[in-house]
Chains A and B, each alone.
Chain A
Amino acid sequence: MDRFSWSNGLLEINETLVIQQRGIRLYDGDDKAKLDSGVALLSTHRLIWRDVKNHECCIAMPLSQIVFFEEQAAGIGKSAKIIIHLHATPANKETGPYQHSKYSFIKLSFKEHGQIEFHRRLTEEMTQKRWESTPASQPIPTATGSQTGRTRAVGIVGIERKIEEKRKETDKNISEAFEDLSKLMVKAKEMVELSRSIANKIKDKQGNITEDETIRFKSYLLSMGIADPVTRETHGSGTHYHMQLAKQLGDMLQVPLEERGGMMALTEVYCLVNRARGMELLSPEDLVNACKVFESLKLPLRLRVFDSGVMVVQLQSHSEEEMISSALDNVSCTIPNIMLTLTRFRRHAVLDTHLRKMSSHSRETSRFNALNSFRDVFGRLLLLQVSDKGSLTAEEFAKLLGLSVLLSKERLLLAEKMGHLCTDDSVEGLRFYPNLF
């Protein structure tokens, strides 16, 4: 590490940037250096490292110092590294962060990957050894000074020389112009790429996502960078991850659930969540595991599994459910009253919850009669809907109620189990009739 010298990080004339990589930690030999998080820039002449937190802290080393280098593969808990073996310190080396080092090699640890490309470019540079052919010099404000004293020649050689001169001049001008920007470029590049990708994603999905999703997407853009979605990197894997995910889902799914009557099939949830995320998608397993911890985290959502195996996410402590329960308790359980409450919550997932509770014969005797009449009335309501049309298939029922086909089928099957409906199974499909038997 003593081969490095302090530098201002600016590229010199004739020096061009080859590749840069973030997330580099430097090792003095095998020891971790204090310089633990920075950007490594490889240019045609030097290897530069700049601290990501403190931009003043910038060190560089000429590539000519490098003897050879090798890759060290990533291990468990260890990032991939490139080990660079160096010549002895030259006498005229400028001061750097380390005065003396017992090692003659350094390591670059790629905490955010990128080692493959870096290695490739470094190999290229080391083979080409461009620093020998185009000696970099300190940037001189007046570029024209170097032009004086040139012998003018004629003929082909002269023309060639002129072309060469022009090329060098252009080169110099460009690098002069970009000197100040090079620092800014390094930062801005990443930001620009990110916002561009997000903007593209929005453009692609125009018309395919609903209003509130667009707004949500844009709010992510505003907060610059997908508002740190819960990923395996940020929160690790395992239950902690699922818990955090569950919390995020809980926030996110409130509004869509309300719109759909308090219940959504898990497949719908999966599609919705991943579309909103854009990047860092969830796997189905993660989603299911996150949903399973809803209850333990006392979130207002629940994962329910129907008999047929269909899984849905449902709003738990919906205020309407409490209203219905209290209505049953307080108000006299006359049929008209129950009918009234029912017609209002026709679409609600709450009804399905109650239905299931009843079909598994809850024996709370104090409310048994209430529930019985409730069940009768609900069945009758469903019966009315079916009788009205003579017979219904699950799809027709779904269209009628504005529910998803899956859920409407569940409801019809439940009604059949309770004996209010009967089925007609033929090549035409499954139709539900009022049970006239």
Chain B
Amino acid sequence: MSFEWPWQYNFPPFFTLQPNVDTRQKQLAAWCSLALSYCRHHKLYTLDVMEAQESPVFNNKKMERKLSIEAIQVVFEELRKKGEFSSWLDKNKSRCLVMWRRPEEWGKLIHQWVSRGAFPAHAGLSERRGGRKEFHGLEDWMLLRSLQALQTDGKAEIIIMDDGKGVKFF
């Protein structure tokens, strides 16, 4: 399924950070949802800001407009503040994690999948991941966080084994 761009994507002022406060809030809201849905669609979990500036989501080649680095950082900062959808990997805000699906939700999904019996209760991490398309490309850190979330819930337990980590589901 090809990605559908929202109407704002073709509106030139969308790519300029608006000085008017009210307008800016609306603009940022639109950017946040666009960024998240794009990452969800392309299964992107980490983002490098410099590279992102060249990716089609922040760079509309047809209109010759692109979002500035500062503006991209503002967008992800907004995502972070709004509900932990993003978090910075470094102080300079050059790389960030994008959690278009929260760890808790991932955890739930995994648990459901496990409960349906696709895997034995014990399994290594990599096996977990390799299985379904849904989890295809899910990065380690994300998987770990989601499992940790499950652990807090009491639905799983992470076991340190000789050659890595394993998880036990309840």
Contacts from A to B (Cβ < 8 Å): 391, 416-417, 419, 422-426, 431, 433, 435-437
Across the interface, do B23 and A435 meet the contact criterion of CB distance under 8 Å?
yes
The interface residues of chain B lying within 8 Å CB-to-CB of A417 are: 20
Q: Which of B8, B19, B30, B64: most chain A CB closer than 10 A?
A: B19
B27 at the interface (CB under 8 A from A): yes
Known contacts: A422-B23, A423-B18, A426-B65. The answer to whether A436 contacts B12 by CB under 8 A is no
CB <8 Å contact, A416 and B20: yes
In angstroms, Cα B8 to Cα A435, docked, is 11
The 8 Å CB contact of A436, one of B11, B15, B20, B64, is: B11
B20 near A422 (CB under 8 angstroms)?
yes
Some 14 contacts from A to B, beta carbons below 8 A apart, are: A416-B19, A416-B20, A419-B23, A422-B18, A422-B20, A423-B16, A423-B18, A424-B65, A426-B16, A426-B64, A426-B65, A437-B8, A437-B26, A437-B27
Q: Are B23 and A424 in contact (CB under 8 A)?
A: no
Instruction: Kindly list chain B residues whose C-beta atoms are within 8 Å of the C-beta of A431.
Output: 12-13
Contacts of A437 in B (CB 8 A): 8, 18, 23, 26-27, 30
* Residues of B that sit less than 8 Å from A by CB: 7-8, 11-13, 15-16, 18-20, 22-23, 26-27, 30, 64-65
Nearest-Cβ distance from residue B75 to partner chain A, whole angstroms:
15
By Cβ-Cβ distance, the 6 closest A-B pairs, closest first, are A437-B26, A424-B12, A424-B13, A425-B16, A422-B13, A433-B13
Residues of A within 8 A of B26 (CB): 437
Q: Other than A422-B23, A435-B23, A437-B8, give 5 A-B pairs with Cβ distance below 8 A.
A: A422-B16, A424-B12, A426-B16, A433-B13, A437-B18
Could you say which residues of chain A place their CB within 8 Å of the CB of B12?
A: 391, 424, 426, 431, 433
Nearest B-chain residue to A415, judged by Cβ: B20
Q: Indicate the member of A424, A435, A437 with the most B CB atoms within 10 Å.
A: A437
Task: Tell me which residues across on chain A come within 8 A of B11, comparing CB atoms.
Answer: 433, 436
Closest to A432 in B: B13
Please name the residue on chain B nearest to A428 by beta carbon.
B64
Q: Which residues of B contact A435 (CB under 8 A)?
A: 20, 23
Considering the chains assembled together, what is the distance between the CA atoms of A331 and B12 in angstroms? 41
Distance in Å from the Cβ of B99 to the closest Cβ of chain A?
26
Q: Name the A residues within 8 Å of B16 (CB-CB).
A: 422-426
Cβ contacts under 8 Å, B65 to chain A: 424, 426
Residues on the A chain within 8 Å of B30, using CB: 437
A422 contacts across to B, CB distance below 8 A: 13, 16, 18, 20, 23, 27
A437-B26 Cα distance, complex, nearest whole Å: 6
Q: How far is the CA of A391 from the CA of B12 in the complex (A)?
A: 10
Kindly list chain B residues whose C-beta atoms are within 8 Å of the C-beta of A433. Answer: 11-13
Q: In the complex, A425→B19 CA distance in Å? A: 11
Cα-based distance from A426 to B8 in the complex (angstroms): 16
Q: How far, in whole Å, are A157 and B13 apart by their CA atoms in the complex?
A: 101
CB neighbours of B22 from chain A (8 A): 419
Name the distance in Å between B152's Cβ and chain A's nearest Cβ.
Answer: 39
| Chain B, Cβ-Cβ closest to A430 | B16
Contacts of A391 in B (CB 8 A): 12
CA distance A416 to B27 in the complex (A): 14
Q: How far is A368 from B22 in the complex, measured between Cα atoms in Å?
A: 21
